[in-house]
Structure 1
Amino acid sequence: MARDPIHDIDSRRRFAILAAVCVAALALPLAFSGGAVATPAIGRALSSTGRFADPTALNWITNAFMLSFGSLLMAAGALADLYGRKRVFLCGLAGFVLCSLTLACAPSLLAVDLLRGAQGAAAAAALAGGTAALAQEFEGHARTRAFGALGATFGLGLAFGPLIAGVLIEYASWRAIFLSGGLACTLSLLFGTRYLRESRDPHARGIDWPGTLTFTLALSSFTFGVIEAPVLGWSSAPVLALLAASAMLAGAFIVVETRSARPMLDLSLFRYPRFVGVQVLPVATCYCYIVLLVILPLRLIGVDGLREINAGFLMVALSAPMLVVPFIAATLTRWLSMGLICAAGLLMAAAGLLWLAAALRAGPHAAVAPLALIGIGAALPWGLMDGLSVSVVPKERAGMATGIFSTTRVAGEGVALATVNAVLAALAATHLARFAPADPASVHEAAARLASGDLAQAATWLPVADATNLQNAYALAFGTLLDGLAAITVFCAVVVLVFLGARADAPVQTDKARNEAQGEALARERQRT
């Protein structure tokens, strides 16, 4: 039978569209994990440029990107529905490329932090527009395969982002990391401009500005407060004011969304217990996996003294399982429920965290096996949770469910990073306090420097403690932190098992479908009687 040339052309066009979105997706995790590996190098290069070279500024290299990315993701999705998916996707890519090129020339840490925030906003537009456009081009099993390829691409970026960053820093410069991300998005921009078709939601009513504003301000206030806490103190007036403002804004956001005719966040979805369970999965992977992609390179490079390229190779043990294990998890669903697989994976990750805490006492290279166990455990729910996010709600609510899940994942990463770094600094301060009990300000400043991977500056702030004492204090704090992360992961595993269950997965019915099924059952009963 002769092949249809029109069908072949359409298939090639769809493949080009998928390639465009996947290449963009490759650049986003590289911007996240690569930026984390580059933080010590950026600090060394720009520390003499002015007063902004402090641990807070270093923390914002990653947190500014994650904050704007997570808080603007749902708003970007609404913009894509309103003004066009292709337009928002291309604008996001163009903004990402521009920010990447400018970051490669940034003269100070302040400029890096501001540009990282702008880069995160562009990434939100690119991801929201790209995934929405992809959903319009594929249907049925083809859509499942397309989004599977997209998830695999994200895994590829996470797996090799630290290694790529380490190689670029070793043989070029930290600025090359941002140039490489800009190059990848330039290729995506070219493909998307040529092959992507424009589409809109004819029923879109606009952006939920009150919801977007209150959500962004609540997340920003919390992140600012937690990042400033290690230096200013948790009981300081500015930190308490920021945390209180965050709580009030979060309450205002819930009130706004409850009363909105077209809310950004449909709270009624949380009446489905399995949907609640799914939201726990990205939170769990944040604390057992994502935070390690940031804090572990800071330790390996800034405190343990490894070169960036060596730290990148070591981090592959953590992230490489993301390339294979998600496919194994999908195969296991033939015999086991998704809830059981996800809970088992989280328990494996928790065991790996406890093992890592003990292994690091023998040196960085002893961490390979526990890092691999953490990566395998985290990859089991990682490969299932995107599909679960839409399968546990009625079909007509799948779009909103995906938006909520994506926001929970990205915003949760930002919150987790800020919180974990602050807790690490606080733990380090408790171990350093014995060296200067009469000078708590210097202790907190030295602890904040240690938490950001700046051993030399920590020694400057606390000269009474030599490098060995500082490293020991950091190691004790890091071990306690890993124990805490393991406890959080175990708790999340229990919640997932309770809400998602260990029995076989069943499709979710809408109220209409449920009533129809009950009516048919009643009719059959009447016929028998």
Structure 2
Amino acid sequence: MSAASSETPTGKMPILLAVCLAALVLPLSFSGGAVATPAIGGDLGGGPTALNWITNAFMLTFGSSLMAAGALADQFGRKRLFMIGIIAFAILSLALSVAPSILVLDILRAGQGFAAAAALAGGTAALAQEFEGRARTRAFSLLGTTFGVGLAFGPLLAGVLIAAFDWRAIFLSGTIIGLLSLLLTARRMRESRDPDATGLDHAGALTFTAMLGLFTYGVIEAPEIGWSHPVVVAALLGAATMLVAFVLVETRSERPMLDLSLFRYPRFVGVQVLPVATCYCYVVLLVLLPLRFIGVAGLGEVDAGLLLVALSAPMLAMPLVASSLVRWLPAGVLSGAGLSAAAIGLFWLGRADPASSGIDVILPMLLIGIGTGLPWGLMDGLSVSVVPKERAGMATGIFSTTRVAGEGVALAIVNAVLAALAKARLAAVPPRHGWDVSQAAQRLAMGDVRGASALLPGLTESEIHESYAVAFRHLSIVLIAITVVSALVILVLLGRRDPQAEDADENGFSGRGPARSSEIQTAIGSDGIV
């Protein structure tokens, strides 16, 4: 046994702290970017499409490269990839803090997503090699708690930074935290590799990334230029072509990036529905609500961040509640009940006055957070327990991809739907000379009431608020429908206990010794915003 492996857990605390620091900055990159969007738009300008890419560019590259990053970590070294990722993240964060235009900022955000995937995949895989047994479980529990803290208080921290300095301070904080993480790992973390690693599935990675990129681009551009525009049609057809190519590549590959044969297990299919449901009843709200609170309700960034704590704070406690309740109730029943509660919260929130910032929005957000917290706390463990143990690593890889990529796609779709609903509502008002309803609808979907008013001269502020309220109410119905259907599917596929799940090791690695990078990407919430 090497000296490194014989160290006590206490001696490895700096390594754990370093990975936790890296993990802490990921929720800030996601939710902080959403809180900063109005301030960025006011400073750098840019239309709704360009502002949408502030969040979507990060999520797109993060989600599409996480699986590939895990394979690279196994082949070239977990510590090496973690350090490369955290250095790149710190440098890109510094560049973002001085970005001169919205175009440059969007491009840098895409690069930041790649860096975040490398840091997360390398860091969590390295952590799994440093700790064993119960120490490993405690380490990953602390890491999961770190994500929860970042999720719950990221918007508030972003608001404080914007109020005290400006939006550039959010990205500069990423540089500072990244450097601290780097200092803690440079000499203490040991290098490790998988001797059986076969390298990256280049064809699979390329077709998958192209599919996500083309689809997201088409959906984001459609509200501005129209769904029938040749650019949008070409992008969506290209995405469909890349999807077919990806399936063909993966089914013919000896070592595919994603083993699609796992979808033959009904319970595994049910697990993939869980992150889809939480995307539409919870994750999209982390982006939509800051825009609503700041742009429509007229709150400052700090007040908006405080309000969002009601939505995200339950994530600190509900996963623990779920892990206790699952001893008596099947995971599918708990998840279905939680999603049903979240659907009620969405109905409640959809009928609240968009200008309200009090108990009328706090209570429904609390209900949504509590309800979503039940499946959120169970789905990572389920991802490895519903398939044979020898296939647990690939199962978590597929779940990881479904979760992270699904969030980026959900954000693009929901933004487009809200813009379309706002346009339909505004189009019902008798048009006046000089109106640009399409642009105004996009502005309104971003919560930019002033921008919408400038494009709709003569329309009162109360009429614009009413248009947003109606559009958001109709959007909530769409989100409720997706959530309820998902809950029913989950009840059917996961409503009964699975004896195999009870045999799975508590750390989610099925008791098979040191885990590969692809096996641990979701053990602590692979999307980085748990």
TM norm structure 1: 0.91
Shift of 1:22: 1.4
| Residue number among 170, 173, 180 corresponding to 2:173 in the alignment | 180
CA contact under 8 A between 2:223 and 2:419: conserved in structure 1? yes
Rounded to whole Å, the distance in 1 between the matches of 2:178 and 2:331 is 34
Rounded to whole Å, the distance in 2 between the matches of 1:6 and 1:121 is 30
| Residue number among 125, 130, 139 corresponding to 1:137 in the alignment | 130
Shift of 1:440: 11
Rounded to whole Å, the distance in 1 between the matches of 2:4 and 2:503 is 38
C-alpha distance after superposition, 1:50-79 (max 9, x if no partner):
xxx111110000000000000011111111
Q: Which residue of 2 aligns with 1:403?
A: 397
Rounded to whole Å, the distance in 2 between the matches of 1:173 and 1:362 is 24
Shift of 1:435: 3.6
User: Which range moved further: 455-464 or 374-383?
Assistant: 455-464
Pair 440,426 (structure 1): closer, same or farther in 2 beyond 3 Å: farther
Rounded to whole Å, the distance in 1 between the matches of 2:354 and 2:447 is 18
Pair 39,279 (structure 1): closer, same or farther in 2 beyond 3 Å: same
CA RMSD of aligned residues (A): 1.9
Shift of 1:271: 1.6
Question: Sequence identity, in percent?
Answer: 63
Q: Which residue of 1 aligns with 2:379?
A: 385
Q: Which amino acid aligns with 1:31?
A: S
Higher relative contact order (CA 8 A, sep 6+): 2
Shift of 1:146: 2.2
Rounded to whole Å, the distance in 2 between the matches of 1:256 and 1:416 is 25
Q: Which residue of 2 aligns with 1:253?
A: 246
Could you say what secondary structure the match of 1:364 adopts?
Answer: coil
C-alpha distance after superposition, 1:194-243 (max 9, x if no partner):
22111111111111111111000100000000000111111222111111
Q: Which amino acid aligns with 1:430?
A: A
CA contact under 8 A between 1:55 and 1:449: conserved in structure 2? yes
Could you say what secondary structure the match of 2:227 adopts?
Answer: coil
C-alpha distance after superposition, 1:481-514 (max 9, x if no partner):
112111111111111111112336533899xxxx
Q: Which amino acid aligns with 2:372?
A: A
Shift of 1:142: 2.9
Is the aligned partner of 1:461 residue 2:455?
yes
Is the aligned partner of 1:295 residue 2:288?
yes
Shift of 1:449: 1.1
Rounded to whole Å, the distance in 2 between the matches of 1:217 and 1:439 is 42
Q: Which residue of 1 aligns with 2:469?
A: 475
CA contact under 8 A between 2:9 and 2:135: conserved in structure 1? no
Q: Which residue of 1 aligns with 2:302?
A: 309
Matches within 5 A, 1:72-111: 72-111=65-104
Matches within 5 A, 1:29-68: 29-47=27-45, 53-68=46-61
CA contact under 8 A between 1:23 and 1:188: conserved in structure 2? yes
CA contact under 8 A between 1:345 and 1:379: conserved in structure 2? yes
Q: Which residue of 1 aligns with 2:332?
A: 339
Shift of 1:107: 1.0
Q: Which residue of 2 aligns with 1:118?
A: 111
Pair 352,93 (structure 1): closer, same or farther in 2 beyond 3 Å: same
Pair 6,358 (structure 1): closer, same or farther in 2 beyond 3 Å: closer
Q: Which amino acid aligns with 1:11?
A: P
CA contact under 8 A between 2:205 and 2:257: conserved in structure 1? yes
Q: Which amino acid aligns with 2:211?
A: A
Q: Which residue of 2 aligns with 1:24?
A: 22
Matches within 5 A, 1:360-439: 360=353, 363-365=356-358, 366-435=360-429, 437=431
TM norm structure 2: 0.91
| Residue number among 196, 201, 206 corresponding to 2:199 in the alignment | 206
Q: Which amino acid aligns with 1:411?
A: A
CA contact under 8 A between 1:446 and 1:459: conserved in structure 2? yes
Is the aligned partner of 1:226 residue 2:224?
no
Rounded to whole Å, the distance in 2 between the matches of 1:304 and 1:508 is 48
Q: Which amino acid aligns with 1:199?
A: S
Could you say what secondary structure the match of 1:265 adopts?
Answer: coil
Gaps of 5+ in 1: 48-52, 511-529
Shift of 1:12: 2.4
C-alpha distance after superposition, 1:344-401 (max 9, x if no partner):
1111111110111123367232200110000001111111111111111222222222
Q: Which residue of 1 aligns with 2:10?
A: 12
Q: Which residue of 2 aligns with 1:285?
A: 278
CA contact under 8 A between 2:434 and 2:456: conserved in structure 1? no
Is the aligned partner of 1:157 residue 2:150?
yes
Could you say what secondary structure the match of 2:501 adopts?
Answer: coil
CA contact under 8 A between 1:60 and 1:113: conserved in structure 2? yes
Q: Which amino acid aligns with 2:170?
A: I
Rounded to whole Å, the distance in 2 between the matches of 1:177 and 1:361 is 26
User: Which range moved further: 30-39 or 276-285?
Assistant: 276-285
Q: Which residue of 1 aligns with 2:182?
A: 189
- Which one has a larger percent helix, Structure 1 or Structure 2? 1
Rounded to whole Å, the distance in 1 between the matches of 2:141 and 2:153 is 18
CA contact under 8 A between 1:394 and 1:508: conserved in structure 2? no
Could you say what secondary structure the match of 1:195 adopts?
Answer: coil
Gaps of 5+ in 2: 505-530
Shift of 1:14: 2.8
Pair 361,87 (structure 1): closer, same or farther in 2 beyond 3 Å: closer
User: Which range moved further: 26-35 or 197-206?
Assistant: 197-206
> In the comparison of the two structures, how many residue pairs are matched?
501
Matches within 5 A, 1:265-284: 265-284=258-277
Could you say what secondary structure the match of 2:192 adopts?
Answer: coil
